[in-house]
Amino acid sequence: MNMWFLGTGAGRPSKYRNVTAMALQLPEPHSSWLLFDAGEATQHQLMRTPLKLNKLEFVFITHLHGDHLYGLPGLLSSRSFDGGVTPVRLYGPVGIKAFIETVFSISATQLDYELIIHEITGNEALIFEDDRFKVEVGQLEHRVVSYGYRITEKDQPGRLLVHKLKELGIEAGPLYGKLKQGESVTSPSGTIVHTADVTGPAHIGRVITVLGDTKPCDNALRLAVNADLLVHEATFAAGMEEKAHEFGHSTTAEAAATASKAKAKRLVMTHFSGRYSNEDLSQLEREAAQYFETATAAVDLLHIEVKRALNE
């Protein structure tokens, strides 16, 4: 599972960074990916990664400010040209459907795949679940309706321990399949073999939390609890809390405090004001480290592997 930071700037592009977008690549065998926000030129940034548009499966828009949205129509259109034929699910605040349909209608854009649009209402918590992961949402505190998303990967059973199976006289075949499904089987010698007896440690599902623009709030903390990766905006440096809150944003110190209170394993800060150059990012990291040691200030095209823990 890999996270790509396609754009890390706030408001408008700068010579240091593009506007906000992030991509979460799911593990094999699916290798599909999820997009969080799509500021202008997001598809240009994608060309600098291994990600393919025809593998895009989900889009989650945090809010309808242009620096998180203006790249979406072109990206969805280009997916048809890249051989995308499978459905895409698009989630976002009320208004996202009218935005997409208006742009496509005026520009006579037609897609070669089904676009399923789901507008989030204030009383929702769980917005998607399948056998791979679930997605929860919470409303944050910004100048417009803004959401944070929590993606929880489902736990996976450990691998079959082939050497133990051979010791029990069980060869590869139908019995392997039953054990993988959690069923008990009978060995050739008549011994009852339970799945737990012949599997390694379970793979604990990872949790990734991506927050839209927000000042510190309870829902940001709730969505971030025990996250393996927390992506939090840090538009302003520590000490600029008054200005940050005026515009519905957070500082580096506040992002780090949320990560610390939530007991997140890793914090990556993004959505930096254009006043900060890439040379300033080390100072922003030092500010955050006073509250949360493993804080990273993202740069465009930063790639992070979200590692899986073992239940041992």
- 141 CB burial (10 A radius; 0-12, 13-18, 19+): middle
The count of C-alpha atoms lying within 13 angstroms of the C-alpha of 56, restricted to the half-sphere facing its C-beta, is 31
Q: What is the DSSP string of 43-54?
A: HHHHTTSS--GG
In contact, 18 and 46? CB cutoff 8 Å: no
SS3 246: helix
- 271 C-beta neighbours (distance < 10 Å), count: 29
30 in the Ramachandran plot: left (φ > 0), alpha (ψ -120 to 50) or beta?
Answer: alpha
SS3 245: helix
C-alpha separations of 148 from 1, 70, 101, 163, 178 in Å: 19, 19, 24, 45, 39
One of 37, 67, 228, 300 is an active-site residue; which one? Answer: 67
Q: How far apart are CA 124 and CA 147, in angstroms?
A: 11
In the chain, which ranges are E strands? 2-7, 21-25, 33-36, 56-60, 88-93, 115-120, 126-129, 133-139, 147-153, 185-186, 192-193, 202-204, 207-211, 229-233, 267-270, 295-297, 303-305, 309-311
Provide the β-strand partners of residue 232. Answer: 269
Cα dihedral 34, 229, 137, 27 sign:
positive
Q: How far apart are CA 248 and CA 98, in angstroms?
A: 25
Catalytic residue flag (residue 67)? yes
Residues marked as catalytic: 67
